[in-house]
Amino acid sequence: MIAPDSGAGVHRLRRPRGRGARSVPAVLAACALSGCGYGSVSCPSWAGFPTPQEKYDAADLVIVTSSSTRDGTARIFGVDAHAYEVRADEVLKGRVDQGSVRISSMPDSCSGTAEYPDGDPLDTSDALLVFATRQDGEWFTLTPLDGTLPYTQEAVDALAG
């Protein structure tokens, strides 16, 4: 994006007169095809975090948990994400008050419903490393695919935090 006052080389586009009415259907058609518009959901592109350290660096909260209990939903990108009360067995980054925190599994919202490509990562009885960020006052896993890892002490030891 070019700043409005950036000087030379800035080209301002002019709208041809009388064409506005013809461009509205084109915009509406583009929105219908791309999913934008009133009441629609957002379809974000997700950054990838291929290593545990990259997940750790991107997260505001990193915990070890062996227990999560379903706790309703939280709205994100136009869909209801599954929310959990997650017990913090160990806090590796960030702060958790009173031993547990409410975290929602970041869904893939492109279909208009909360979907989890590999299953809901917090819906498990296995011990996990959870990588979370705050969005609109709520905690969410980093992405639909990069918000948790199976817990191993080796994974924890490998984190430079």
For 55-88, how does the pLDDT look when each residue is reduced to its tens digit (9 = 90+)? Answer: 999 999 999 999 999 999 999 888 889 999 999 9
Q: How far apart are CA 57 and CA 80, in angstroms?
A: 27
In a domain? residue 3? no
- The pTM is what? 0.71
In a domain? residue 110? yes
Average pLDDT for the chain: 77
Number of helices (H) and strands (E), helices first, in the chain? 3, 8
In a domain? residue 124? yes
Confidence tier at 113 by pLDDT (50, 70, 90): low
Domain span at 60 = 52-158
Q: How far apart are CA 130 and CA 6, in angstroms?
A: 43
Cα distances (Å, whole numbers) of residue 71 to 9, 44, 131: 54, 25, 18
In a domain? residue 148? yes
Whichever domain contains 150, its CATH number is 2.40.50.120
Neighbours of 144 (CB within 10 A): 22
How many structural domains are present in the chain?
1
